[in-house]
Structure 1
Amino acid sequence: MRNFTRTGTAAALSAMMVVLAACGGGSNNGSGGSGDQVTLSVMHNWTGQDAKATAMRGLLDQFQEDHPDIKLEVEGLATDGLKTRLRTVAAANEMPDLFVMWPGVMTQEFVSGDLIQPIGEYLDSKPEWKDNFIENAFDDYTVDGKIYSAPMNLAPTSFVYYNQAIFDEYGVEVPKTWDELLAAIETFNQNDVIPIALGNKANWFVQSTIFSSLGDRVTGTDWFLKAVAQDGASFTDPQFVAALDKLQELSEADAFQDGFNSIDENQMVQLYFQGKAAMFISGGWAMANVVKNAPEDILQQTHITILPSVEGGEGDPMSTSGVVGTGMGISSKLEGAEKEAAMELLYALSGPEGQQATLESSTLVSYDIPLDESKADPLFVELYNLMQDIKITPVYDAKLSSAAVEVTNNGLQELLGGGDPAAIAEKIQNAQVGAAQ
């Protein structure tokens, strides 16, 4: 749970983002205001009806109530829409005052474009806050020794959620090896049960929730980080092609329902809620949705585990891909009263009260606070305890260049449709090399 690493390799912004950001144009993002009131524009992805989104919107409302001198202009977007919007406003150098952002490459790119400002001085002023984050929690928000955000949660990205009643009905054991998984898939298909519900309409989904862990199972973490750095490893190496082969095996075994590239994550989970699928694979973020919205009979039968081991693989089978959670970026344009107000909101969302609210919403945190198991849903307790025994390995889209991430996401969709693993590996390699030049 505390094994976070960084490559030390910073990705640059896309050429357009760098050029436009350097021009220094853009508006004042709505900051300032009349009299003593400060106005802050806030962009987030807490738009759903899951417990986490509800809790975070509640924190925003409470902050507004507690700070009548600070007006929040809030815009909520679904995750995919938020990522797209952020890259658009970044290219125009018109960032909102505060916004949800991701660790790793996104943070590095925004720093490269001089779009966000460090928070280290404010963090240091509250040691009781800073010192309670888990080990290495700030690593992927740190660029050139400066910290740019504080994680609001912990985001392991790959778990198998499964319906024990369906497994029992067909005499299937929860798979611990790849061969056992393939056998389980065959049994479920023979009985007209979707083995693994999948919604990959947003093309990042398979990369983040399945392949980042599966790839590590096959190649090991050290190889992946070397390939990212282009330091003694290449994505055309046999072990990476073998990892792609393993993912394609799932598609060829009919692990997923027809049309999985045309439905989204919410529709995927609905197939599971309806009892039509034995499993779905998603991140820890799905827990808040399952706990709040699953039918009671489904919830009572749902358990959680990690991807099975892969024979001959170099990676640690007791691991899952993940990152520290999202943080709030603060526009580099803010200063004076606006900057002070933004730091206060950052603290409200990622400080002790925010972390406690997040944990109570059945969401893991990168913060050292105990879980009151008597008040938590049993399934979340199961996840919380599972995390004590496994380590975190890198998510591809937090380490690869933006260009290589997009090629990887598209390539995995192609792969699941029958594409050639070696050809896809070459595209990923070329994209990562190109970004480094």
Structure 2
Amino acid sequence: MRKKAVLITFMMLFVLSAILSGCGGGNNSAGNTGNAGNTEAANTAGQNSESEGTKKTKLSGKVTFLTNRTDMIGKEYDEYLKRFNEKYPDIKIEFEGGQTDYNQQLKVRMASGELPDLMFVPDIPNSDLPKYFAELDDMPFSSELTFKDFKSYEGKLYGITTGNASSGIVYNKKAFADAGITEIPKTWDEFLAACEKLKQNGVIPLSSNFKDKWPLGSWVYDLPRLIENNPNFPNEKLNTDTPFTMDNGYGKSLSLLKELADKGYLEKDINSTNWEQSKKDIANGKMAMYYLGNWVINQVIGVGAEADNIGFFPLPYDNSGQTRAGLSPDFFYAVNKDSKNLEATKAFLTWLIEDSGYEDFAGFMSPLEGRESKLPQLAEFQALAVELQEGVADDPEVIQISNKAQIDLPAIAQEFVLAKDPQTVFDKWNKAWAKAKKDLGY
């Protein structure tokens, strides 16, 4: 009986409390009820937000990052870590410097099962990506990513581009002005005329770094597909036994490079070039131009060039007046699927993409769509209304045939430029391609 009485008393107090609460608002009770509801929702949202924030900052663990940017270790990476730890104080980042052959080093570690938590995707078939790397479709910016198909398999994302580069002419503005070049060349004939003026003024018009081979990449990977106005042009080699012809993208592109060499617009001795020295020569005006990706801009500035003295414009590869340039991704981040600190690693990767500013430091365009570059040269480039043609992923079958035929496009460019009869160079490699294609059953 006593328990029943207590219960009745409690219920009466509860009802009285509710009545008094309803009366407290006077004639504005409806408005107060609305405010009370909003306050409750706001409090709930605040609690959820706080919980989410606490979850983020409470992530902990050690993340190892194997990077090829050894020049940033002890410098920019230290500053990155300081900023990152302001948000995630309990995550420790350890930067490991990749050796000269990063790709081979990573493959050795893959074979031994000793992968770091975060790395760049090595040169492996996309079908092997799930064996080693975590899916990244759950990253908060995944819908904004560019070049998602490059490192995906069966609809799953495994690699995220560190940044994107466009091929174009990086040039010394003072060298142009001193040679009497007052406007950016918009046609191939105008480009040749500019080269002649530079040459007459004692300046090497274009630094090709011919001997090093890899700097010829823009001439064999980007320009052929631009000339064809076909992003998939490199993969269409699969449909022919003669992929290299004088009248297609490869022949036309390499003919332009050979014309520059024959006219004396490249280094005086193209067989003895020096990459590091060339950056200094572009910076001080002994050389005027590169045909490379925009990533080289900050490197030239880094060796002494005044930032406002370095410009960037698309190579005018014909006389149509077009402004088209290739857009390609750089290295791709990947996360070890067996990482003991998977969420911490993903948090660091998210921070690298969204907050680090690495793309501006490295001279890249953002890996996220619609982000404006802070690099003045890229702003200048984009102001020219350049049509950026995005590359497409290499067809695995084309890669397989190329490997069997030992096709090395920059090496073919070297042979082509030095040959008295470039057609013989194409004949040799067409034969190798056709044989490899047949042997593999394609």
- What is the TM-score normalised by the length of structure 1? 0.71
Matched with 2:262 is 252
Q: Which residue of 2 aligns with 1:270?
A: 280
1:231-246 to 2 correspondence within 5 Å? 231=239, 234-238=242-246, 239=248, 240-246=250-256
The whole-number CA distance in structure 1 between the counterparts of 2:130 and 2:371 is: 37
Using CA pairs under 8 Å that are at least 6 residues apart, name the structure with larger relative contact order, 1 or 2: 1
Residue 132 (structure 2) aligns with? 116
TM-superposed deviation, 1:77: 3.8
- The structure 1 residue matched to 2:101, chosen from 63, 67, 81, is 81
Alignment of 1:369-388 (within 5 A): 370-371=371-372, 376=374, 378-386=376-384
Aligned counterpart in structure 1 of residue 157 of structure 2, from 131, 147, 152: 147
Is the contact between residue 280 and residue 300 of structure 2 (CA under 8 Å) also seen in structure 1?
no
| Residue 295 of structure 1, CA deviation | 3.2
Q: For the Cα contact (< 8 Å) 2:149–2:393, is it kept in 1? A: no
Identify which of 370, 387, 399 aligns with 1:390: 387
Q: How does 1:94-105 map to 2 (within 5 A)?
A: 94-101=114-121
Q: How far does the alpha carbon of each residue in 1:312-339 deviate from its partner, in whole angstroms, 9 at most, with x for none? A: 8xxx94322232343212234x15x333
Counterpart mapping for 1:278-293 below 5 A: 278-293=288-303
Given that 1:396 and 1:405 are in contact with CA atoms closer than 8 Å, whether structure 2 keeps it comes out as no
CA-to-aligned-CA distance 1:55-88 (integer Å, 9 cap, x gap): 556334544676565554422247x632343345
Counterpart contact for 2:244–2:426, Cα < 8 Å? yes
Aligned-partner Cα distance in 2 for 1:420–1:398 = 31
Cα distance, 1:264 vs structure 2: 4.5
State the percentage of identical aligned residues. 22
Q: Is the 8 Å Cα contact of residues 212 and 394 (structure 1) preserved in structure 2?
A: no
Q: Distance in 2 between matches of 1:226 and 1:177?
A: 28
SS in 2 for 1:364: coil
1:195 is the counterpart of 2:205:
yes
The Cα shift of 1:121 comes to 4.7
Q: Is residue 67 of structure 2 the alignment partner of residue 47 of structure 1?
A: no
How far apart are 1:265 and its partner, in Å?
Answer: 3.5
Residue 222 of structure 1: how far off its partner (Å): 5.6
For 2:125, the aligned partner's letter is E
In the alignment, what sits opposite 1:224? 233
Cα shift at 1:259: 4.2
Please give the alpha-carbon distance, in whole angstroms, between the structure 2 residues aligned to 1:223 and 1:42. 33
Superposed displacement of residue 362, structure 1: 4.8
Partner of 1:328: 333
Task: Give the match's secondary structure for 1:309.
Answer: coil
Deviates more, 1:359-368 or 1:56-65: 56-65
Q: Does 1:131 align with 2:129?
A: no
Q: Which has the larger radius of gyration?
A: 2
- Structure 2 unaligned segments of length 5 or more: list them: 1-58
* Equivalent of 2:221 in 212, 216, 220: 212
- Contact map agreement 1:160 1:306 (CA 8 A) in 2: yes
Cα gap change, 1:431/1:223 in structure 2, threshold over 3 Å: closer, same or farther?
Answer: same
Unaligned runs of 5+ in 1: 1-35
1:340 aligns with 2:320: no
Q: Deviations over 1:214-251 (max 9, x none)?
A: 323433326724534x1257413341333322222222
Question: What is the deviation of 1:307?
Answer: 0.7
CA pair 362-428 structure 1, distance change in 2 beyond 3 A: same
TM-score, normalization by structure 2: 0.70
Indicate the SS of the match to 1:221: coil
3-state SS of 2:285 partner: coil
Secondary structure, aligned partner of 1:320: strand
Residue of structure 1 in register with 2:49 after alignment: none
Distance 1:132 1:47, change over 3 A: same
Q: Distance in 2 between matches of 1:38 and 1:427?
A: 55
Q: Please name the residue that 1:301 is paired with.
A: 309
CA contact 1:196–1:255 (8 Å) conserved in 2: yes
